[in-house]
Chain A
Amino acid sequence: MKNLLILGAGTAGTIMANHLRKKMNRSEWKITIVDKEGDHYYQPGFLFMPFRIYSEADVVKPKRKFVGGGVDYLEADVDRIEADANQVHLKNGNTLAYDVLIVATGTTPVPEETEGMTGPDWRKRVHEFYTFEGAKALANTLDDWQGGRLVMHICEMPIKCPVAPLEFVFLADSWLRERGLRDKTELVYATPLSGAFTKPVASKILSGLLEEKQIEVVNDFNISHVDNEDHKIVSWDEREVPYDLLVTVPTNMGDPMIERSGLGDELNFVPTDKHTLQSKAHENIFVIGDATDAPTSKAGSVAHFEAEVLTENILAFTQGKPLPEKFDGHANCFIESGNEKAFLLDFNYELEPVPGKFPVPGIGPMSLLGESKLNHMGKMAFRWIYWNVLLPGHPIPMVGHRMTLSGKKLPEGVKAPQPLV
């Protein structure tokens, strides 16, 4: 019997387990998935918790429930991978041998990376919504908000769901309006990027939206430290942004287990072939989701597309065949823009988000890079799709892992990508 071991039962690991248990020969392969935590969080829901649009119960379910029969589920903390010996050491002292390993340990915010971030203001005036605990604490603080300077801030890139901070200020704007507090609140967006977003066409549109909503933008802001005494963040080039409430996205890093295994880059992300998802260092190690260093968004939608590619590649690998599938970097993200409207972005390694219709060319019904109520409904429907379609590994109709050009309008100056062969 051979062992296929999956580390991490988050979005990517769970989908992989559910794909592989249906496709692998289980008299030859034993599939095991390991995770240190019992609860599965619908992380996109963390954005809505501070505004009490989602309750805690909307976003948490037991992890085990989503891993289907035929897979051994193990709740344990992984200490390190010993790649040269094809084994994984657990913190409880046990070891697990593998023939094929899938690393799906994701990324988490590490506020300690920034001087002063976890000082006296932490969870009082300084908050984050990238964790369940953080989103809950921020909801309590917002309940008491009476106005002042509310600063949304990003420490450094890359972060998972790079549009989430923008969504937060857009939602905050409409939430404040509803409560009659918008006039009493200065909304500020401080980012290390030179624009609102990482890609030019979308960045321009989103910058326009920030301006329209009178949200002050501070660009190229690389944080050096948080000053808890004067309640301000200070950049390396000595600019200062005062806050009454700071909502920050701390540095996102891969799990420290990756560092202990000697498998990561400076942020503990695993160097990975961006098309095949094979680790660059070991041919029987594959990496998926937020744990990779692939140059696309760290997003659940990406993990979902990658899972289709990786399933085919793992099946081929276990049969000694060349890896057949190539991932093109496809990402598909809704952006909540407030007032129950949203944008939709669809892009890949080669093509930035451009306007158009999705998923049916010319018809939609959803519009790419345009604001609509329907996009918002799509985003809100996604929670159901996540629990019932995505995690069990069922295909989502009409949305394939390869990005398609049909339905997209390329603005002048944007080059069409070469199709992957």
Chain B
Amino acid sequence: MADYYSPEDLNRFQEIGGEASELARKFFDYYGAVFSEGALSEREKALIALAVAHAVQCPYCIDAYTRACLEKGSNLEEMTEAVHVACAIRGGASLIHGIQMRRIAAKLSM
């Protein structure tokens, strides 16, 4: 295998239902329901998905939701801001643990 990641795998996602098909069916039904229009629009959901894709660093999701965002009418400015939201939360999540570090350090220090 030349690469661990292969773009073609994205189109083969459904094959995961080859085994444990009932679980796959439930997952894909749920997935479809999550992304359909609700209190949030499909466009907003695609932007959230794009941000999360960057947070979990999934190349398949980045590929799929970049296209989905464009096809839902978003532009690069909005998509870049969404990625910054992911980045800020990731960075913030590290940084907030610094308080824990400071608390422990304070307890241990004279």
User: Are A and B interaction partners?
Assistant: no
Binding site for B on A (CB under 8 A): none
What residues make up the interface of B, taking CB atoms closer than 8 Å to A? none
